[in-house]
Chain A
Amino acid sequence: GSGGFRKRKHDNFPHGQRREEKENVNPSSPLMTSFKSFQLELDSRHDKYERLVKLSRDITIESKRTIFLLHRFTSAPNGEEILNESEVKLDAVRRKIKQVAQELIGEDMYQFHRAISPGLQEYVEAVSFQYFIKTRSLISVEEINKQLIFTAEDREETTNKTSDSHEKQPHTWSLKVTPVDYLLGVADLTGELMRLCISSVGNGDIDTPFELSQFLRQIYDGFTFIGNTGPYEVSKKLYTLKQSLAKVENACYTLKVRGSEIPKHMLADVFSTKTELIDQDEGLP
């Protein structure tokens, strides 16, 4: 049958000729020369991408730690200290972002956007959380970008990394957080604010939840205003945002209703049971 034929065909294949043909490929033909240059180009592009992914991961981790630190703010008496510490941490994150900006000198940022986007979103989340704790308002995307303009003053890093290839570049770099990264970061922020709300009740703070519900409602209204103008990821976050808002609103409701009946010192107990419930169905780490 045809199977046997195929097999025979394979056995009879003139291997000698085949090998000869492969050797016939002249390693210095125009085609091979151009493919060698393609190899260089692709390799350097992939290397850069990998470096950016690594930086992005570092940025994510440091930003997450900053957020954890800031959650301690409400419960601790030494608020000033924690804020200062978070500022130090965020400065470290910004130094990483500076490295990202240096990698992107002369490149089209969007070519590597997928590598750095997760880190930038996490940074937006951390920075806006800190800003909220300090000022009780939402940081604007312009404000964030203002902090991401770097100059070559601190030489220790710039010399070893960029001197070889970018010697004559202007000595300021900037990185712009795109509107979409900003929106996704802010959407994540609302989750943190929800946690902040619940834990502040636990600490017997009755005012913060109401303030937060007001603030979250503004953000929610903002997101509904954008609606489906934005990309798919933004609309996906809208669902989680709605859940966070509902939790905060319910918390406020309970405070209002029960608060008039229960003595203040017992409120925390009422809420701690409530908190467990919320944590359970959220399933967050």
Chain B
Amino acid sequence: SPALAEKMGLGRAALPEEIAAWDVSVLPDGTGLPEGEGDVLTGDEVFADKCASCHGEFAEGLDSWPVLAGGAGTLHDRRPVKTIGSYWPYLSTVFDYVHRSMPFGGAQTVTNDEAYAITAFLLYSNGLVEDDFVLSNENFTEIVLPNAEGFYPDDRAESEYPLFSAAACMSECGPEVKITKRAVEINVTPEDPDGRPAGTLPDYMASAMGAAP
């Protein structure tokens, strides 16, 4: 694609209040945090009002809604429980995501102070602070979540690509294989009325002359 020799002169300068309205991102180092504060007990109240109908009074999750607390030490388990406390690396993401996109169906109705309070409550629910804790933009970056060191950048270029880039076998590749697993035994696929997987191609030779499937 051609490089532009000079600017097109399109668009106009964004105004400070426009940027403030739309750029509410918070980065792991605290960049983007608004001034404000909230404590655990206030967070408990706000959570009960705005969040607990899905996430439970203790952030433990109702029905199949996401679990926000618990699961500590389960990341090696057969069925890991990945929550804010057990899995998330940064508190910034909690504040940012709650403030920007929750409650589900009523997003962007949480004030800055409410977002601090809810975040404080979620820390408490995960056993990470006492019940008198007050979270603010001043002490926010002092909080380190348990799984802060639990992630590493994509290493497939070292750990997989060399292994999978050898010349592939074309004939007599290993012993004969046997079927070990069948999806039909689990039987959880949506079905057509005749019991076949939903969307199965019609047997059109059996439905000629406009007999729609």
Q: Do A and B assemble together? A: no
CB within 8 Å of B: which residues of A? none
Which residues on B are within 8 Å of A, measured CB to CB? Answer: none
